[in-house]
Amino acid sequence: MRKLIIIGVVALLAVLFVQPIRAYRAAQSELTTARQQLDSARVIKDRAVKERDALGTREMLVREARRRGYIFPGETPFSVGNR
């Protein structure tokens, strides 16, 4: 009888610990996913900041303006090939 009670108590404890362990593992998985998303967002932010900073330089402003077809006063525009 004593063995049966011990087995019952152990089984009850095992059942009671299953849900918290599952919840803990799920939380760890969500945390890992959130950290990966945060790292990805930081990389995107860093690229955007670098691009923003680069656009602030005269060289990048001129390059972007020329890409869009703008010219400086006194220059003669011409086109090579099809656009």
pLDDT 10s per residue in the chain (83 long)?
A: 888 889 898 888 888 888 889 999 999 999 999 999 999 999 999 999 988 887 778 888 888 888 888 888 888 887 777 65
Q: Is 79 part of a structural domain of the chain?
A: no
* Domain region containing 12: 2-67
Structurally, how many domains does the chain consist of? 1
Residues 28, 34, 40: CA angle, nearest 5 degrees: 140
The position carrying tokens 């996913």 is 33
What value, to the nearest 5°, has the Cα angle with vertex 45 and ends 43 and 59? 105
**CA-based angle 8:12:15, to the nearest 5?**
140
Q: Quick check: is 73 in a domain?
A: no
